[in-house]
Amino acid sequence: MANALTFWVPRLDTNVENLRVHGVSFLGRSYANPVDGRETYAVYFVNPFTGGVIELHSADCTRCADFKGYEANECPEAATLHWSTAELDDVALWGREDVLGPPGDDDDDFVLYYNETWNLVRISFPATRVEEIYKLRQVFGLDVDPVVKAPSKDCSFSNARLNASTGVDGAPAAGNASTPLELQFVDNRAAAHGNLTVKMFETYVAQLHGKLMGEDFGWDRFIDNHVGLYVGDYVALDAWKATLDAAGVPYMPHVAGSFTDDAPQADQVVAGSIWTAGIGGLAIELNGYFDFSEFTNASAFFFCHPT
């Protein structure tokens, strides 16, 4: 359940009704927002294409009266959202204004679009070493303040707020500073796991990265299981090479598009990404630009490229 994308929805009724009408199994939960105490509702259902969980949270749902609170073995402290209702509603409003412009007095399209759309606020991933989230700062240089908590003997989790304006090494990046996006790792030792455990998954992925990737080479299927972080225009991606090498994190750099000129030269600036083994079983992509001071052999990126 911790392998999830979490969305804030200003009004949940239509989504709940659609799930019921189409026979989609879901888990419904209710909780008091830990910041402002507002009654909040959540539905959980499986993405059939990826096996991941989709969570929809909202403080407005007339069809959720039968939702129960979280069970103790569901790690409630990690399951609830960690922003006030006002902050979350602001995210939805900002996103809708960005697409439709400010609402008018009789703007029915704006109201419908605002109430029914999903706004990504959290990316969760299961882990056995939630403290590895500190690598976001220590290895990847992000200007974030990770938090690690252990609210019970069976549950530990960590999170870092990655605002749209999260910067690198203290430098700000472009974006809306009020937009919350949380990256979270959860170790719920009370959750059922069948014959395959989170530890087995982490070990397998780490071994695969080790066999097929290294310093500046290689690719494997699990690199596509990643989060992409835009690191802005202040620091070239080449600055990460020494840090990744020192930390022993496998990675592969690619320039964007079909860069087919002669071999890149120092001082050129070309957009691209470094695809890394990341943290635990979750890969991390650093997106920005290369100045080719270090990555002189970075090749072009194509979807479904074997390397």
132 backbone dihedrals φ, ψ, rounded to 5°: -65, -10
Query: According to the model, what pLDDT value does residue 99 have?
Result: 47
pLDDT of the residue at 257:
57
Mean pLDDT of 205-218: 80
For domain 4-188, the question of CATH label 3.10.180 is answered with yes
Q: Decide which of 161 and 30 is more confident.
A: 30
* Res 150: pLDDT: 95
Provide the pLDDT for residue 110.
40
In this prediction, residue 4 carries a pLDDT of 95
Averaged pLDDT score across all residues of the chain: 82
Cα(16)–Cα(204) distance, integer angstroms: 37
155-159, 209-213, 231-235, 265-269: least confidently modelled range? 265-269
Q: Would you list the domain boundaries of the chain?
A: 4-188, 198-298
Q: Grade residue 219 by pLDDT with cuts at 50, 70 and 90.
A: confident
Q: In this structure, what are the phi and psi dihedrals at residue 115, rounded to the nearest 5 degrees?
A: -75, -30
- Tell me the CA distances in angstroms from 74 to 53, 124, 130, one per residue in order: 14, 14, 16
With 80 as the cut, is the pLDDT of residue 98 above it? Answer: no
Report helix angle 85-100 to 108-116, nearest 10.
130
Joined together, the tokens standing for residue 97 give 């204004």
Instruction: Compute how many other C-beta atoms are within 10 angstroms of the C-beta atom of residue 174.
Output: 10
Question: Phi/psi at 277 (nearest 5 deg)?
Answer: -70, -15
Tens-place pLDDT, residues 109-133: 444 444 568 888 999 999 999 999 9
Q: Looking at residue 23, what is its pLDDT?
A: 95
- Taking phi first (over 0 means left), then psi (-120 to 50 degrees means alpha), and beta for anything else, what does residue 75 get? left
**Rounded mean pLDDT, 82-91:** 90
Taking only the tens place, the pLDDT of each residue in 171-194 is 444 444 456 689 999 999 999 888
> Which pLDDT does position 63 carry in this prediction?
94
More confident residue, 303 or 72: 72
Per-residue pLDDT band at 160 (split at 50, 70, 90) = very high
Residue-wise pLDDT tens digits, 20-75: 999 999 999 999 999 999 999 999 999 998 899 999 999 999 999 999 999 999 99
